[in-house]
Structure 1
Amino acid sequence: MNMEVDFGGLFLHNSTYDYDDYEGKVEPVGGAVFVSVLHSLALAVGLFGNGVLLCVLALKRRSWSLSDTFILHLSVADVLLLLTLPLLATQAAHQFEWCFGSFFCKFSGAVFNINFYCGILLLVCISLDRYLSIVHGIQLYSQKRCRLFHISCLLVWLISLILPIPDWTFLEISQDNEQGKTLCVHLYSRSVTDWQLVSRLLHLTLGFLLPTAAIIICCSFILLQLQRSSKVPKTQRAFTRVILPLVGVFFLCWTPYNITLTVDTIRGSTGNTEGSLQTALMVTKALGCVHACLRPVLYLGLCGNFRRRALAMLGCDTVQHDGSLWELCVGEEAPSDQSPDEVEEQKQMMGDDQQVQSTQC
């Protein structure tokens, strides 16, 4: 009897599989869950915080200052981005598969960049105004230059609407035959490298590097002036305590995305793209979206005037003070070592500053 067993070449095909190219095909399950949760939390906190902020502004609309108007523009830009977060959260929950059609694909991508451009350009305007006021004693935005203020805000929105044109043009839904998914991606009609480079260079230079340099320069001179001179009015010092954290949180949220985008642009131009880099773009993009819910939290923690108004509104109470939400931001009383004359002089300066930024503008 023949007891030999024929394995049919079972051990003949024992070559190992090369996993070097598998990284780009791994489903980013952990990243997808993290992005989905992050978008959901940002949506809940952002809608509540910005809703309270807009209600507080609406209740004091008869006494708006220019700084309050800046807050309004920033809040509107944040609310626009928050409206797209349900789409992005659903996309992440479906392993980054897009389910909402071509229009919402373009809309979500464009609004994401509109929020970024509007936020950083408005911070440039605020920083420049504070720099001229504190360092040179020049009021860039005042009652006499009200038209300049509105022109600046209009230009910020126009630039923010023009720069995302590549998103409206090239963002499309596409079928990924390899993964069997519908994706929302940029589809460049001509040379991918040329159009992608132009689009990203505009974003990184006009949208990030140049405004960042302007903000850093202005804030540096402001800090130097505040350190050198003790004659800077209390209101301007208090305002600086708000604007500097706003700038810091903005760059903390948006810098990782722009660094990742720069790396992806450099590697894409050389033909070296990685799946992990695309996942990093998704995660850092979600971190940028989180910024839309952080500004009201900063106002609540730093601005005593806004905190009092918000708590009074939620408690159906009234607040008599009509000052700016950013001025008197610390909500502190005069130190005990100040003389009555100094306290009266401080109140007079605060009144003069609010009169300069009156709502007749």
Structure 2
Amino acid sequence: MDSTEPDHDYSATLEEFTNYSKENTVSVNLHAGNCREAGCVITVIFNVIIFLLGIIGNGAVIWITGFKMKKSVNTTWYLSLALSDFIFCATLPFLMSSIVTASWIFGLFMCKFNSFVMTLNMYSSIFILVIISVDRCITVKFPVWAQNQRTAKKASLVVVMAWFMSALLSIPSAKFREINTNQTSTVICYSNYEDHHRTVVFMRFTFGFLIPFLTISTCYSILICKLRANQMSKSTKPYKIMTLLITTFFICWLPFHIISIIELNKSKNAPHDAIFHAAQQLSATLATANSFINPFLYAFMAKDLKKKCYSFLSKIESAIDEETRSAFQRTSITNSVDNRLSTAV
């Protein structure tokens, strides 16, 4: 075995749009300095769109929730979600460069850092969505406690803890990232998990999808049952927004996890066929797209779509502000209902 060649693990990670292996370095990969294949061109175009819309959209949410609106629990959640997506979108130019040139020119540190940020975005996004779901459930299920205990300061502490856990779970993405120069003098940035590939994929699927999915599903089941029983929600927009956010996340990330699991059963010596390579690119691009969709979900929830483009910033603020008012309204109504029940008893 040639020690100068990377022991590629066929890991379907976001940063691996261009895959290299010891056995087949050119059959389905993009040639260095050449991006003429349709798949490569489409991938680059999509990433340029995601980068521009992600920076603008998430930047707008950060500005509004961070500087224009009064700090609250809800604005803290959405500010954190927008920050995660904004940081991820800011690293896309490095990825686009590697796709176009099929080479990594930014050194080992950026190779590790880029992979770390991408994985950090996946974990932090889903953790924040889980936190929001649990928060909604607690607000409706235990309104008195929520009214006394839900503060922006505590919400900020929870967000810090979520980011800390996300960073810990993202360490393997940086630790096992390496650069190497292949036989054609092309520098590549790749994941060398050695014997830890299954562990990393299992960890990503478990903490980045399975547990969050079960937690969110449980919270929403409790939430829907409680709301239907008390009929205390006058506005459904906050729930529509959250439902769309969560549904979009799982639609974007499920193919990525499926491809990662499928790869575990692929032999390292098996040809890296073009169809599977296309599936990798598609699932990775779809996962990347999640980072620019969220802010547009806030803006396009209103009824008159024709006016959306002319009032994008105000719609984002209005959607988040309405959710904040609705949360307080639900708590007040629930307190009133509970007080009447207590008096009757």
* TM tier relative to shorter chain: 0.7 to 0.9
Instruction: Tell me, yes or no, if the aligned pair for 2:66 and 2:79 is still in contact at 8 Å.
Output: no
Aligned length: 299
Distance verdict in 2 for CA 1:152–1:215, change over 3 Å: same
Inter-partner Cα distance in structure 1 for 2:307 and 2:142: 30
Task: Report what 1:233 is aligned to.
Answer: 233
Alpha-carbon shift at residue 51 of structure 1 (Å): 2.0
- Give the secondary structure class of the aligned counterpart of 2:322: coil
Supply the AA of the counterpart residue of 2:272.
E
Q: Which amino acid aligns with 1:144?
A: Q
Q: Give the Cα separation in 1 of the matches to 2:169 and 2:187.
A: 26
Query: 2:170 & 2:161 partners in 1: Cα distance?
Result: 15
SS at match of 1:233: coil
Which residues in structure 2 correspond to 1:125-144 (within 5 Å)?
A: 125-134=131-140, 136-138=141-143, 142=147, 144=149
Unaligned runs of 5+ in 1: 1-20, 332-345, 354-361
Q: CA offset at residue 24 of structure 1?
A: 7.1
1:206 deviates by 1.6
State the shift of 1:102 in Å. Answer: 1.2
Structure index of larger Rg: 1
Please state how far the C-alpha of 1:273 moved relative to its aligned partner: 6.3
Q: Counterparts in 2 of 1:14-29, with a 5 A limit?
A: 25-27=27-29, 29=37
Counterpart contact for 1:39–1:85, Cα < 8 Å: yes
Q: 1:220 to 1:274 in 2, by over 3 A?
A: farther
Which piece of structure 1 moves more, 48-57 or 111-120? 48-57
- 1:168 positional shift: 1.5
* Residue 329 of structure 2 is aligned to residue 328 of structure 1: no
How large is the Cα RMSD of the aligned pairs? 3.4
Q: Against the structure 1 CA distance between its residues 202 and 313, is the aligned structure 2 distance closer, same or farther, given a 3 Å change threshold?
A: closer
Partner of 1:11: none
1:203 aligned residue: 204
**1:69-218 to 2 correspondence within 5 Å?**
69-94=76-101, 96-134=102-140, 136-138=141-143, 142=147, 144-146=149-151, 148-177=154-183, 181-188=186-193, 192=194, 194-218=195-219
Question: What secondary structure does 1:99 align onto?
Answer: coil
Deviation at 1:119, TM superposition (A): 0.4
TM-score after normalising by structure 2: 0.75
Shift of 1:283: 2.9
What's the counterpart of residue 222 of structure 2? Answer: 221
C-alpha deviations, 1:205-256, integer Å up to 9, x for none?
A: 1222111111122223333444x33522325x33211100000111111111
Cα displacement (A) at 1:271: 6.0
Letter matched to residue 51 of structure 2: L
Q: Which amino acid letter does the alignment assign opposite residue 86 of structure 2?
A: V
Letter of the structure 2 residue corresponding to residue 101 of structure 1? G
| Structure 1 residue 72: Cα displacement | 0.3
Q: Which residue of 2 aligns with 1:358?
A: none
> What is the aligned partner in structure 2 of residue 282 from structure 1?
281
Structure-2 change in CA distance of 1:330 and 1:245 (3 Å): farther
Change (3 A) 1:171 1:141: farther
Structure 1 consecutive aligned stretches of length 4 or more whose deviation exceeds 6 Å: 21-24, 307-310
Match for 2:329: what amino acid? M
- Indicate if the aligned counterparts of 1:77 and 1:119 stay in contact, CA closer than 8 A: yes
TM-score, normalised to structure 1's length?
0.72
- The one-character-per-residue Cα deviations of 1:272-314 (angstroms, maximum 9, x if unpaired) are 563443443233112211111111110111268xx99996697
- 2: CA distance, partners of 1:122 / 1:25: 40
Change in 2 beyond 3 A, CA 1:140/1:213: farther
Q: 1:91 to 1:22 in 2, by over 3 A?
A: closer
Match for residue 51 of structure 1?
59
Distance, in Å, in 2 between the alignment partners of 1:22 and 1:81 is 31
**1:321-353 deviation per Cα after TM superposition (whole angstroms, max 9, x unaligned):** xx874242599xxxxxxxxxxxxxx99937959
The answer (yes or no) to whether the contact 1:238–1:330 under 8 Å persists in 2 is no
Secondary structure at 1:152 match in 2: helix
Q: Does 52-61 or 160-169 show the bigger shift?
A: 52-61
Q: Secondary structure at the match of 1:174?
A: strand
Q: Structure 1 residue 67 and structure 2 residue 74: aligned?
A: yes
- Kindly provide the CA deviation profile for residues 141-178 of structure 1, in whole angstroms up to 9, marking residues without a partner as x: 6553435433321221011101111122111112232x
8 Å Cα contact 2:85/2:292 also seen in 1: yes
- Is this contact kept in 1: 2:238–2:319, CA < 8 A? no
After superposing the two structures, state which structure 1 stretch, 46-55 or 152-161, moved more. Answer: 46-55
> Which residue in the other structure is 1:349 paired with?
329
1:46-103 CA-to-partner distances (Å, cap 9, x unmatched) read 1111222222224424x22211111100010011101111111111222x32222111
One-letter amino acid matched to 2:207: L
Report the 3-state secondary structure (helix = DSSP H, G, I; strand = E; otherwise coil) of the residue aligned with 1:328: helix
Say whether the 8 Å CA contact 1:56–1:313 is kept in structure 2. Answer: no
Sequence identity of aligned pairs in percent? 24
Contact map agreement 2:139 2:331 (CA 8 A) in 1:
no
Distance of 1:348 and 1:98 partners within structure 2: 50
Structure 2 unpaired stretches of 5+? 1-22, 31-36, 334-345
Q: Secondary structure at the match of 2:159?
A: helix
Contact 1:242-1:302 at 8 Å conserved across structures: yes
